[in-house]
Amino acid sequence: MTVGADRTSTGARADAPPAGPPLPEARGPVSAAVRDALTQAPPPEHAALPLDRARAADPLGEDAQLALYVCYELHYRGFAGVAESWEWQPDLLRLRGVLEDRFLAALREAVPGGTDVTGDLDALLVEPLGARGVSHRLKSHGTWERMREYLVHRSLYQLKEADPQAWLIPRLTGQAKASLVAVEFDEFGAGHGDRVHARLFADLMAGAGLDPAYGRYVDHAPAPTLATVNLMSLLGLHRSLRGAMAGHFAVLEITSSPGSQRLARALERLGAEPRCVHFFTEHIEADAVHEQLMRRCVIGDLLDREPEQAAAVAFGVQATNYLEARWSDHLLAAWDADRSSLRLPLDA
């Protein structure tokens, strides 16, 4: 590689992003222990991590969800100053395993289960009259303040949009694989770096007066938000949960198109810049197609080949719905009480 004007002496691009965001602040003993451990470089052969405290923590609470989130981020962009080799440190993986087992158990307890994939997916197409979701609220009378909050919550996923779902690719074969890749090809900009959906979301954030840096708002995000993102990483990183990941991704695609329509209208009403509205208008049509691909070609083909995956697919659909509803309830309860749904004020 030649070192040109746009490259540093080490060959890295001069405009390359810094090596990950800073580690978030701890929210309890488990996340504090993970945070402390990660400051050691290189990772020790044996790291003392509090497995008992991880077992005792509320699996959906702030401490456990943040610890899990930090463990998972090592598989995406990592953190500034944290050695990359922590990604496969056995004691940290063991702690992550405890947190995952507890998280999964809590989700299995919260959802009805069963194998009625068609029924579970069809239910998503029916929007109850007078639906009171977050996008409905923002469309009807959201302010810029509430819209920015919404974008901050969603930034934890949207700035790595479709990355967790990409882990499903090697776990599928045939038509299911081909169709999943067709969806992902669109999510990743169809060959154009400036059209990658994560980039479009960063443009939207900048247009809304927010910092689009990856991981900038993790400290702001409460546990219900972290849980929606942790679910994706959990399902993506375990081959045994491939059916659940397919179900999860189908929910995102099915619910995206009508939600995007409402959010585009909300931003237009607020007089937002075109680059803000663009992220959502791009999703209105694209996700109407993705919905069909996910349902018929990915899940349809997967269940033709592996009918025993039906319970896993249904679990992925239900767990996603459960965590999204919990997240929505958190936001609406805060807004009903006229307070922010974030842990920190946005100007902090």
Q: Which residues would be at the binding site for Fe ion (CB under 5 A)?
A: 187, 197, 287, 290
Alpha carbon distance 4, 57 (integer Å)? 51
- The smaller minimum CB distance to Fe ion, of residues 103 and 249, is found at 249
CB distance 272 to 208 below 8 Å = yes
Partners of 13 in beta bridges: 7
- Min dist CB 76 to Fe ion, Å, is 17
- The smaller minimum CB distance to Fe ion, of residues 187 and 324, is found at 187
Alpha carbon distance 165, 25 (integer Å)? 27
- Min dist CB 302 to Fe ion, Å, is 18
- Min dist CB 144 to Fe ion, Å, is 23
- The smaller minimum CB distance to Fe ion, of residues 157 and 335, is found at 157
Query: Where does residue 300 rank: exposed (0-12), middle (13-18), buried (19+ CB within 10 A)?
Result: middle
- The smaller minimum CB distance to Fe ion, of residues 278 and 343, is found at 278
CB count within 10 Å of CB 190 equals: 11
Which residues does 126 contact at the CB level (< 8 Å), separation at least 6? none
- Min dist CB 152 to Fe ion, Å, is 18
- The smaller minimum CB distance to Fe ion, of residues 83 and 206, is found at 206
- Min dist CB 200 to Fe ion, Å, is 8
As a three-state string, the secondary structure of 174-239 is HHHHHHHHHHHHHHCCCCCHHHCHHHHHHHHHHHCCCCCCCCCCHHHCCHHHHHHHHHHHHHHHCH
Partners of 7 in beta bridges: 13
- The smaller minimum CB distance to Fe ion, of residues 100 and 287, is found at 287
- Min dist CB 158 to Fe ion, Å, is 8
Which H/E stretch holds residue 205? Answer: helix 197-207
